[in-house]
Amino acid sequence: MDNRPIGIFDSGIGGLTVMREIMEQLPYENLIYFGDTARIPYGSRSEQTIKKYSYQCASFLKSKNVKAIVIACNTASSIALDHLKNQFDIPVIGVIEPGARSAASVTKNGHIGVIGTTATINSSAYQERIMEFKHDAEVIGIPCPLFVPIVEEGWEYSNVAELTAEKYLAELIEHDIDALVLGCTHYPILRYTIKKVVGPYVKLVNPAFETAKDLKKILGEFSILNENFELPKYEYFVSDAPERFRRLGGNFLKKEIDILSEIAIDNL
């Protein structure tokens, strides 16, 4: 039994889709979210920079006495998970392995698509992980960088979203995929449009949901679940523009963002 909070970080607001799943699956856990809104996007940056930023985000959470850290960002998970696991003496969980495992298990024909930021797809983290779970899979990764600003504009149901999805996803449809990993925090919000484009027979895998499931299992294994069945406390920190975070965050979280503070990037 451990009532310390779980720390969750992302490059900005997108990780709230992961937080939302954690709130649903672990309703008694206290949570601290950090969004590095001053330095988003991570998805177009170099490995070295993503590792450095991720380490600073995790260190900030560690300073808040968290019992585990969830890297709620696909880009940071792809590049920095091993690095962070070596640096901290608490469980550090990324979104790649849970998403890859689920994709490998739901596919029937072995043709799996992965979409994400340029850094995530170029790292091949999902592609390699999926092949470990399913050796004969054919995995095709496509970077879809425009999806992030489309979601942040609130255009997820628009013609722009649909045309963009048609352009990005055409190659995956040609390869007859039957499973598609939504390998970026923002993509679950585009679920409806993506499904419309890829068709009803393609299963969409949401790593956020799978990560929350894994987190629950890991906390249980470490005997650090919070068994204090009271209303949990949710705290949010950002490195820039808190009011924008509060405004847009609601669409990701489906909940009001109450306790929100801005921290200076230099203090990270």
Of residues 77 and 226, the one with the C-beta less far from ligand DGL: 77
- Which positions from 75 to 104 touch ligand DGL by CB under 6 A, shown as an x/- string? x-----------------------------
Beta bridge partners of 116: 143, 183
Kindly state the smallest distance separating residue 78's Cβ from ligand DGL, in Å: 8
> Catalytic pick from 73, 80, 95, 172?
73
**226 exposed, middle or buried (CB, 10 Å; 0-12, 13-18, 19+)?**
buried
11 contributes a contact to ligand DGL by CB under 6 A: yes
Would you call 36 helix, strand, or coil by DSSP?
A: coil
Measured over the CA atoms of residue 79, residue 85, residue 88 and residue 90, the dihedral's sign is positive
34 binds ligand DGL (CB under 6 A): no
What is the DSSP track for 134-163? Answer: -TT-EEEEEE-TTHHHHHHTT-TTSHHHHH
Among 37, 185, 226, 239, binds ligand DGL (CB under 6 A): 185
Residues 41-80: x where in contact with ligand DGL by CB under 6 A, - otherwise, as a string: xxx-----------------------------xxx-----
Three-class secondary structure of residue 2 per DSSP? coil
- Alpha carbon separation from 248 to 14, 28, 85 (Å, rounded): 10, 25, 31
Q: Which of 54, 107, 117, 123 binds ligand DGL (CB under 6 A)?
A: 117
Q: Which residues does the annotation mark as catalytic?
A: 73, 184
Residues that bind ligand DGL (CB under 6 A): 10-11, 14, 40-43, 73-75, 116-117, 120, 148, 184-186
